Structure 1
Amino acid sequence: MSIELFNLTGKRALITGSSQGIGYALAQGLAAAGADIILNGRDEARLAAAAETLRARHALAFDATDHEAVRSAIDAFEEKIGTIDILVNNAGMQHRTPLEDFPADAFERLMKTNVSTVFNVGQAVARHMIKRGAGKIINIASVQTALARPGIAPYTATKGAVANLTKGMATDWARYGLQCNAIAPGYFDTPLNSALVADPAFSTWLEKRTPAGRWGKVEELVGACIFLASNASTFVNGHILYVDGGITASL
């Protein structure tokens, strides 16, 4: 098998929520594989700083929870600049509260940020991909797609929804030449998990619970993303790829 299967030269990739954390790492990795990256975020200053550091030629500052804003931004980019060949739906948030006390407004924010964004950006980009008969959509799920922990039941619900929406995308769009898959990270040292990383008791529990015995490093997600974004995965569709150090495989 030729290494050229993984070469993304000539492809353009949009990564939502890519000014920090997992999205930033995936953008950096896709660029290293040859892709022309498009960064996205709501914080324009942070987005501009990330674009400068990564030497990204494109940065789209839209709110992925706003359906009309997303469609307008995507349509304008496709018309004025060029095609979006790869989409990584990475935008997401967390809120930790026992379920019996979980605020309704926090639940709605989680649904909009973790699920609606996948639908909004996925649909807007797919409409153009369908016309071309090709495209790669990679949604970021979670170990919580398969497992639950106390205090994050609504987050778990959103990531289960991301997995099933991914399967629905593949079911509807594979016939048009699109591959729609998801990466489900385990516990990674990211800004979203900063409170857990700083908690010695949690880190000790995680190291014992995970067969690999440690937190994941964001760069360890890059290979999976390149695989799903490249010609190496042309018959992979509706798949949820767990990158979790073995945590979902072990009791």
Structure 2
Amino acid sequence: MTAATEELRAPSTDLTDLTGQVAVVTGASSGLGRRFAEVLAARGATVVAAARRLDLLEKLAADQDRVVPFRCDVTDEADRAALVARAEELGGVDVLVNNAGWAEALPAAEQPLDSFRRTLEIDLTALFALSVEAYASMRARGGGSIVNIASVLGMVGSAPVTQSAYGAAKGGVVTLTRHLACEWARDGVRVNAIAPGFFPSELTADMFADTSAQQWLRRNTPMGRTGRGDELDGVLLLLAGPGSSYLTGQVLAVDGGWTAR
């Protein structure tokens, strides 16, 4: 056995171990964001769980020793700065999960311009601004991982789902992920994105409650079903942890084959 082969077969470190790291998760009060916070905490990270609904964050923290609740409106500049400052008090930002999001199901021709702007402000502009704040902390620590939550609707058209503003914002997240990854790679800051397909959440509650919509989703998804929350755990831990040390600028669609059609 050669030295090279011996090195390849040597036991690797735990590629999902986040012990000693500080993670920030936005939109953590419910749904996918809450699960992201729980998953990262379970792997050893101290998680600053951020959202506007502090009462729900405090309930999450009561169940998870490593979760620190923090009220934050991601569209507010002072709130974003305070969120990063809180993470700095805990040691600095190692992982940022940009999960906070908003959507309105309106036909494009009927969507008020203010509604379109609001969607972009929450889903894209605030994500960019918080990423810049976190980047400064990560660079000072020698690196880190930013995980943006995009969507398959940022990769393909949404019809007959009327989500043009949401799709435009998430399409921006997809492209922004690639640009930031290239700009920040030499500083050790990796930027990747997860593009979920159709998963149960507050944003999809109406769709999941509609029998005909469920049938349409099953019929049009190659795997014949919608996603479960736990089916995002693996890709989250991959992108957040050391297992993706040479992976940046990538958008991983977890969608049951939706974008492969």
Query: TM-score, normalized by length of structure 1?
Result: 0.95
Structure 2 residue aligned with 1:15: 25
Task: Report if aligned partners of 1:179, 1:237 keep a CA contact under 8 Å in 2.
Answer: yes
Instruction: Find the counterpart in structure 2 of residue 65 from structure 1.
Output: 75
- Per the TM alignment, residue 68 of structure 1 is displaced from its structure 2 partner at its CA by 3.2
Q: Following the alignment from structure 1 to structure 2, what is the Cα–Cα distance between the partners of residues 45 and 215?
A: 30
The answer for unaligned runs of 5 or more in structure 2 is: 1-10
Q: Deviations over 1:26-80 (max 9, x none)?
A: 11111122211110001121221222233344122111111232123313541x3
C-alpha contact 2:103 2:165 (8 A) present in aligned 1: no
- In structure 2, the residue matched to 1:137 is 146
Q: What is the aligned partner in structure 1 of residue 104 from structure 2?
A: 95
Aligned residues: 249
One of 25, 28, 41 as aligned partner of 2:51: 41
The 8 Å contact of residues 16 and 88 in structure 1, kept in 2 or not, is answered as yes
Q: Which of 141, 146, 159 in structure 1 is aligned with 2:170?
A: 159
Identity %: 37
1:149 pairs with 155, 158, 171, which one?
158
Tell me, yes or no, if the aligned pair for 1:95 and 1:155 is still in contact at 8 Å: yes
1:229 corresponds in structure 2 to 240
For residues 1-251 of structure 1, what are the structure 2 equivalents within 5 Å? 2=12, 4-78=14-88, 80-150=89-159, 151-250=162-261
Between the aligned partners of 1:7 and 1:65, the Cα distance in structure 2 is: 31
Work out the CA distance in 2 between the residues paired with 1:172 and 1:72.
25
Give 5+ residue unaligned stretches, structure 1: none
How far apart are the structure 2 equivalents of 1:77 and 1:231? 20
* Structure exhibiting the larger radius of gyration computed from Cα positions: 2
Provide the aligned C-alpha RMSD in A.
1.3
Q: Which letter maps to 2:101?
A: G
Where 2:97 maps in the other structure, the secondary structure is: strand
- Residues 22 and 90 in structure 2, CA contact (< 8 A), matched pair in contact too: no
CA contact 2:27–2:99 (8 Å) conserved in 1:
yes
